Structure 1
């Protein structure tokens, strides 16, 4: 799966939780889920659960804590997919 495919799938997953739709339109690797997209911490847990389902992976607590930006999330997803 390419970076663009991962990004597209991740964008689809986070869309229902995003409060700042303008930031979603300008999504980059540096986009911060809490600061830029205004996703609250409770919804971040939902995002992680949705990511686990979508990619058929398991994300441990340590990895979950890293998933605060688009780039960090993609990195975690790639690592988990590689270790399957």
Structure 2
């Protein structure tokens, strides 16, 4: 799965938690989950759980703390997916 495919699936994960759905159309690596997408910080845990299920990966506490932007989310997901395929 490449970055674009991960991004396309990540949009689906983020959609239920994003107040302004129009913002999802314009997200990029620098998009901040809380500031730009207006995702409630309490929902970040739900997003991590949903991402784990969607990509069949495990995200530990340290990796979860890194997931503040769309790009960092994709990086964490890519890293976890690559570890599983090794």
TM-score category by the smaller chain?
A: over 0.9
TM-score, normalised relative to structure 2: 0.93
Q: How many residues align?
A: 84
The 2-side partners of 1:33 and 1:57 are apart by 20
Deviating above 3 A after TM superposition, structure 1's stretches of 4 or more consecutive aligned residues are none
Q: What is residue 77 of structure 2 aligned with on the other side? A: 77
- Give ranges in structure 2 of 5+ residues lacking alignment: none
Q: What is residue 67 of structure 1 aligned with on the other side? A: 67
- Give ranges in structure 1 of 5+ residues lacking alignment: none
Q: What is residue 31 of structure 2 aligned with on the other side? A: 31
* More deviation, 68-77/17-26: 17-26
Shift of 1:24: 1.6
The 2-side partners of 1:40 and 1:60 are apart by 20
TM-score, normalised relative to structure 1: 0.95
Q: What is residue 13 of structure 2 aligned with on the other side? A: 13
Give CA deviations for 1:18-60 in whole Å, capped at 9, x if unaligned: 0122322211111100000000111110000000000110000
Q: What is residue 3 of structure 2 aligned with on the other side? A: 3
